[in-house]
Amino acid sequence: MRVFKFGGASVKDADGVKNVAKVLQEVGHENTLVVVSAMGKTTNAMEAVVDAYFNDKIEIANSVQEVVNYHNTILSQLFPNDKHPIFKKVKALFDEVQGFLAWNKSPNYNFVYDQVVGYGELVSTSIISEYLNEIGLKNNWLDVRELIKTDDSYRDTTVDWDKTQNNVSSIINRTILNITQGFLGSDNNNFTTTLGREGSDYTAAILAYCLNASSVTIWKDVPGVLNADPRYFEETQLLNNISYREAIELAFYGASVIHPKTLQPLQGKEIPLHVKSFINPKNAGTTVGKGIGIEPEVPCFIVKKNQVLMKLSSLDFSFIVEDSISELFKMFHEYKMKVDLIQNSAISFSVCVDNKFGRLEELLNNLKSRFKVTCQEDVSLYTIRHFNSKAIESLLNGHEVLLEQRGKETVQFVIK
């Protein structure tokens, strides 16, 4: 069985949904499980609903209605008959969102986030499943929350692999086309959980692992994995083949094409991962699998924007050693800071972090009671894998370097 994953960009409008159908018709759809993200920027829009719930309740109705209107436009273009059952189904899903916001008593932001934001995927897959049925691509819609079980660490959960394996084995019919959601799971109380932002790739890998799938294909608006993000770099090159190890390294440093958690379960069962273009589905794209390094062997550039660089030193000029570093990492974990780079000397410790959960101010207040802290926000972290002097020169090009770190294969720069 194959697993396909289509992201939000591939289903951002009615033409995108029609193109998904075209891809399935071109490459085959039998014995296939399709994982789909929320449409377009719906996740951002649903996050705005959650923000309104906590900060401006007057805006909740307007925030929800914007998402409803967006999907209704797509519905009307896909289903000319406005009496089609899908209209009622989608309305019922949005009614559930508003119902939850009306009766919820939990002050836990992350819990509320997961219960609300996940409706983007439930709506998108409902629309796509119905459209495929309408044009003759018969399929089975699955609620992924009945498949993937997790703990209750909302917004960044850990998968319960044994329960998930049992569910997948007993629920999924491998002989037909199945449609399900990315990003979502559920805890033991059947509350919705999410696997982390951009977690739909990880969903595909989890399900592929449990299905012993023959392959996973991630369909993107680029021809495959490039050696740099074309939004930030010119003259990018397609990487034809990447080893699991190299892909994990690239993902770890922030390459956006592949979600960092995606590769581990695939490597465990040597399931090949294909990254292909939904615009040109017959093109080869990139294959991640067994092997060494990358082909062709070229420098790979990765950029992470909106990072935070902190320099910490002890208040009494004592050494920053194991106990201090252990204390710091405990705090980074507590405040959900993703550490992207560290560098330390005898009395100072520099760290570049991703403040994705917005808890920097809390962390700084805690740190300042124990350390002297300088902090620079809105910096960029650039990484070059398989660097050479020409690659470094082209990257820096007059930029102010705040921190540099070199290894045998990788160099990193924090740049203002």
| Residues annotated within a binding site for substrate | 43, 121
CA 174 – CA 182 distance, rounded (Å): 18
CA–CA gap between residue 199 and residue 187 (Å, rounded): 16
Residues recorded for the chain = 416
| Percent composition of the chain: helix, strand, coil (DSSP 3-state, to 5) | 40, 25, 35
**Helices 109-117 and 119-134: crossing angle, nearest 10°?**
10
Residues annotated within a binding site for ATP: 5-8, 231
Return the number of other C-beta atoms located less than 10 Å from residue 18's C-beta: 15
How far is the C-alpha of 77 from the C-alpha of 254, rounded, in Å? Answer: 37
Q: Which residue has the tokens 């398989």?
A: 386
Query: For the purposes of burial, counting CB atoms within 10 Å of the CB of 144, is it exposed (0-12), middle (13-18) or buried (19 or more)?
Result: buried
CA dist., res. 98 & res. 61, Å (int): 8
In three-state form (DSSP H/G/I as H, E/B as E, the rest C), the secondary structure along 280-307 is CCCCCCEEEECCCCEECCCCEEEEEEEE
- Produce one character per residue of 159-181: b if its CB has 16 or more CB atoms within 10 Å, e if not: bbeeebbebbeeebeeeebbbbb
Binding site as annotated, residues: 5-8, 43, 121, 231
Residues 6+ apart with CB under 8 A from 294: 239, 241, 242, 243, 246, 300, 386
Residue 152 carries which DSSP code?
S
User: What is the CB neighbour count within 10 angstroms for residue 219?
Assistant: 23
Spatial contact of 244 and 271, defined as CB atoms under 8 Å apart: no
Provide the angle, in degrees to the nearest 10, between the axes of the packed helices 42-55 and 109-117. Answer: 140
